Structure 1
Amino acid sequence: MDQQSLRKAIGALKDSTTVGLVKVNSDYKELDIAIVKATSHVEMLAKEKYIQTIFSAISASRPRADVAYCINALARRLAKTHNWAVAIKTLIVIHRAFREVDATFQEELMNFTMGRSHMLNLCHFKDKSSPNAWDYSSWVRNYALYIEERLECFRIVKYDVETGNTRTLDLDTVNLLEHLPSLQQLLLRLLSCQPEGAAIYNSVIQYALSIVASESTKIYNAITGCTLNLVDKFFEMQRNDALRALEIYRKAGYQAERLSEFYEICKGLELGRELKFAKIEQPDVSFIDAMEQYVKDALRTQPANLNMVDANKRLPAPKSFMGIEHKKVDSNDDKQEAIAAVSVSPEQIAAETPKASVPAQTEVPDLLGLDDASQGAAELEENNTLALAVVPSSDPLDSTSADLMGETTGWELALVTASTSNRSAIGESKLVRN
């Protein structure tokens, strides 16, 4: 008998011994047997009936003592094992419970982890039984980090991946700057689940990866919605908030590129047959440059306690940051969510914008097509004694700017107009105060 066969035989013996002890000593015999069977040493997916028995024991209708017992049993299973199959199958049970059981399970698990070491912290987990087991162990550690971050995101910003976030357009600047870093950290953990080496071809890992990939759509949709809202508020922020927002916007572009690479890996796997992927476009580079330049100007010329620019003079945001549409595709075990990206190129934006020669004070159109600025915000600007005063300029440079604008249209015209208007407003506001 070779080492691999001996290892499997020992694992089977451990499982049967555990089941025998449960039948004699446990007050939760059916549940304990289901946990052992669902997280056994056998290197294949567990039977669905055992997983459903666990889900029944942790539902909202069951006594909280039963739920706590089940969480303790799963925690012991994770803490004691050095076998990659047991670890990943236990994580799959917990992950699926987040998706298929009501939110009370996440709350109970959150309460369980408070004041003690996190049961999902497997950063030191290693299965040294074979070279392949090393690759499997690495993926298990990353998978555990993603599930732990999922629970943390639920604790901090009350975001549940399964139910999604429908309040992204209603969040104010403070909440946006709190939500977006948490969501981006969750997506970062998800992207770390990209398999490598032997893990790419393992069927159990591919099953868990299919669940992770299906959740990427909802997470990225939430990030995109919050980012669009953040862009709309960017030129009304105070400079410290604007610096944070710019960093978030840069990171969103980087993560979009990483997510495209992640999808390319998934396309080559069996799970790629059940999901439809499309290329994710990057945010418009010219808009990022405009944001960066504006922040530099604001840091040099404006106090920290003043709004960065008049709401009516702000630069337009890209018409589409990263729209994502998805549809469900039926599979035998679960419904996966198809992923598609919708983007608008700068050429399309320029084609939609008529050519015109406009003065520097002309209001820039909202290329995002989002909600118009509220009248209440405009009235607040006018009544705010600390707001910047914007007055017409007689500077001969204006004629130069007008000549330049006469040769530009669309997106470029919006950037030149806003930039010229902002510099004139800042310089002349100093004259008004003097």
Structure 2
Amino acid sequence: MQRRFRQVFTSLREHTCVSYAKIATIGGFCDLDLLVVKATSPDDLPLPERYVHDFLKIFSISPSSYRAFALSFTRRFDKTHSWRVALKCLVLLHRLLRALPENSQLRTELLWTRSNGLMSLYPCHFRDCSSSASNDYTVFIRSYAQLLDEALDCLTLGSKQYEEEEVEEHEGDGEQEEEPESFTDKMKELGEMLEVLPQIQSLIDRVMDCRPTGAAARSFVVRSAMRHIIRDSFVCYTTFRKEIVMVLEHLIQLPYRSCIAAFGIYKKAGVQASQLCEFYDWCKSMGLCGVYEYPFIDRIPKIQIQALENFLNGMWQLTESSSSTASPLTSSIQSPSSSNDEPANNQTNWATFEETAIVVKPQKDEEMEPLIRLEVDNSESWEALLEASVTPLGVPSKNSNFFHLNSHGQGQGHGYGYEHCSAAVNGWQMQVYNPFSQTQNMVHLQGSYASNPTYPWGL
């Protein structure tokens, strides 16, 4: 009985406020409070578009009306106990934030209202008392309010970046030639992306939390509000996919902490992509938005995430091992004067790769063996060897066999394109190696971009 009484009282109160606002505006008395009440009437119809245009006209005429609207919205949203009124308040705020530019004063006034404790979108204290399924509507309203609260913070960061880019453009107007982007500027841009990408991921999570259940999923007003939410998620995901690709392309150039942060974002994106596919499938089944509007979701396989993790771990271990082995290598290299009794130099000797290479020197007793050893009979003279070595490859000598049959019995000659050319001179044979032969230059490359699993990046 008490619950039914609350429903009737809430409905009567809201309809009375709307009727008073309509009568007052007909008499020529109008302010933002009455306009907000008229726009958020407790009926089962979506928010009329004309009210959005009316507010935009007022903002363009009177910039001081931004704070008045922020206060009117706060009073209307905090005092109501009707889910229809609260939902239309949030939809009105959502539409205005989307219609106004990123550096609009409305966001500044809303943040000022929130910082002073006048507006509380998160945590949201709304509680529905106008329907029998109050829990379903209450959960949806609170999730929607939290989404808008995080959107205010994300858009504020975006407006700061927009202002910085605008200042840089004005400063560069006087320059005739554009200077190429330096490495420092690129790293600064990537650092800003690493700050924005987690916020975009959080917004996508809040969008999926707005999934209505029970009676709220069957409401026409809720479904119309979900269309606005889903369309904004399309923009968020497209922006995220574009920026994460840019970050992964320059992953190795980032510092270690930034590299680990980027990997955490990439790892979360793999889990989030599966959840977003499931959420969009539910939206399609409910008939929310057109099927052609949904973006393609790039699912990231787990093997790519594991390969990237192994790559980063190996890179860090290689960095640690190189830094740890540098000191013994440099300490082992001593100057020639260190063998004497002179004191060692206190300066650090940095060894290059050539200096640290291990060189095996022969002992004094040992003889240096030749790299190429030719077995020549003692009966042959050195004139025959000299004659064979200076004989052109294309012209056979008197005692040489120019054609050399391979294992298939085919002759190779004409002075080029052969693998081995054997020349027999008075009983001895010399093999000539052709470095331009294709069979000798077949190199099996391991770690190429096509076969190496450490390059999985492709959203």
The answer to whether TM tops 0.5 is: yes
Deviates more, 1:129-138 or 1:9-18: 9-18
Unaligned regions of 5+ residues in structure 1, if any?
A: 162-166, 307-384, 395-404, 419-434
Structure 1 residues 7 and 119, CA gap change in structure 2 (3 angstroms): closer
Partners of 1:80 and 1:295 lie apart in 2 by 53
Deviations 1:98-129 (A, max 9, x none): 11234332233233333435442352321144
CA contact (8 A) 2:24 2:30 kept: no
CA drift of 1:97 comes to: 0.3
| Larger fraction in helix | 1
CA drift of 1:415 comes to: 3.4
Please list, as runs of the form range in 1=range in 2, the aligned pairs for 1:346-385 lying within 5 A after superposition.
none
* 2:49 partner letter: E
Q: Tell me the residue number matched to 2:62.
A: 62
Partners of 1:291 and 1:18 lie apart in 2 by 61
Q: Tell me the residue number matched to 1:414.
A: 452
Structure 1 residues 278 and 233, CA gap change in structure 2 (3 angstroms): closer
Structure 1 residues 63 and 235, CA gap change in structure 2 (3 angstroms): closer
Q: Tell me the residue number matched to 1:355.
A: none
CA drift of 1:194 comes to: 1.6
CA contact (8 A) 1:146 1:189 kept: yes
CA contact (8 A) 2:11 2:130 kept: no
Deviations 1:48-97 (A, max 9, x none): 333322232223x4232x22112111111011111111111011111000
Q: Tell me the residue number matched to 1:314.
A: none
Q: Tell me the residue number matched to 1:43.
A: 44
Deviates more, 1:244-253 or 1:288-297: 288-297
CA contact (8 A) 2:66 2:105 kept: no
Partners of 2:352 and 2:128 lie apart in 1 by 63
Equivalenced residue count is 321
Q: Tell me the residue number matched to 1:246.
A: 263
TM-score by length of 2: 0.60
Please list, as runs of the form range in 1=range in 2, the aligned pairs for 1:134-283 lying within 5 A after superposition.
134-158=135-159, 172-273=189-290, 275-277=292-294, 280-283=297-300
Structure 1 residues 156 and 100, CA gap change in structure 2 (3 angstroms): closer
* 2:313 partner letter: K
Superposition RMSD on alpha carbons, in Å? 4.0
Partners of 1:117 and 1:18 lie apart in 2 by 23
Q: Tell me the residue number matched to 1:32.
A: 33
Deviates more, 1:234-243 or 1:407-416: 407-416
CA drift of 1:268 comes to: 1.9
CA drift of 1:238 comes to: 2.7
Q: Tell me the residue number matched to 1:88.
A: 87
* 1:90 partner letter: C
Q: Tell me the residue number matched to 1:315.
A: none
CA drift of 1:45 comes to: 2.1
CA contact (8 A) 2:21 2:35 kept: no
- The answer to whether residue 16 in structure 2 is matched with residue 13 in structure 1 is yes
* 2:197 partner letter: L
Deviates more, 1:278-287 or 1:247-256: 278-287
Partners of 2:268 and 2:352 lie apart in 1 by 31
CA drift of 1:288 comes to: 1.6
Structure 1 residues 284 and 28, CA gap change in structure 2 (3 angstroms): farther
Query: What is the DSSP-based 3-state SS (H/G/I as helix, E as strand, rest coil) of the residue aligned with 1:194?
Result: coil
CA contact (8 A) 1:194 1:265 kept: no
CA contact (8 A) 2:70 2:110 kept: yes
Higher Cα Rg, which structure: 2
TM-score by length of 1: 0.63
CA contact (8 A) 1:239 1:295 kept: no
* 2:221 partner letter: V
Please list, as runs of the form range in 1=range in 2, the aligned pairs for 1:311-330 lying within 5 A after superposition.
none
Q: Tell me the residue number matched to 1:105.
A: 106
Deviations 1:11-65 (A, max 9, x none): 31243246667899xx972433321111122232243333322232223x4232x
CA drift of 1:408 comes to: 7.6
CA contact (8 A) 1:78 1:119 kept: no
CA drift of 1:278 comes to: 5.7
Deviations 1:309-352 (A, max 9, x none): xxxxxxxxxxxxxxxxxxxxxxxxxxxxxxxxxxxxxxxxxxxx
Structure 1 residues 20 and 55, CA gap change in structure 2 (3 angstroms): same
CA contact (8 A) 1:121 1:148 kept: yes
CA contact (8 A) 2:126 2:138 kept: yes
Please list, as runs of the form range in 1=range in 2, the aligned pairs for 1:68-79 lying within 5 A after superposition.
68-79=67-78
Unaligned regions of 5+ residues in structure 2, if any?
A: 163-180, 324-348, 359-442
CA drift of 1:220 comes to: 0.9
Query: What is the DSSP-based 3-state SS (H/G/I as helix, E as strand, rest coil) of the residue aligned with 1:272?
Result: coil
Partners of 1:14 and 1:117 lie apart in 2 by 22
CA contact (8 A) 1:95 1:147 kept: yes
* 2:96 partner letter: A
Partners of 2:275 and 2:220 lie apart in 1 by 24
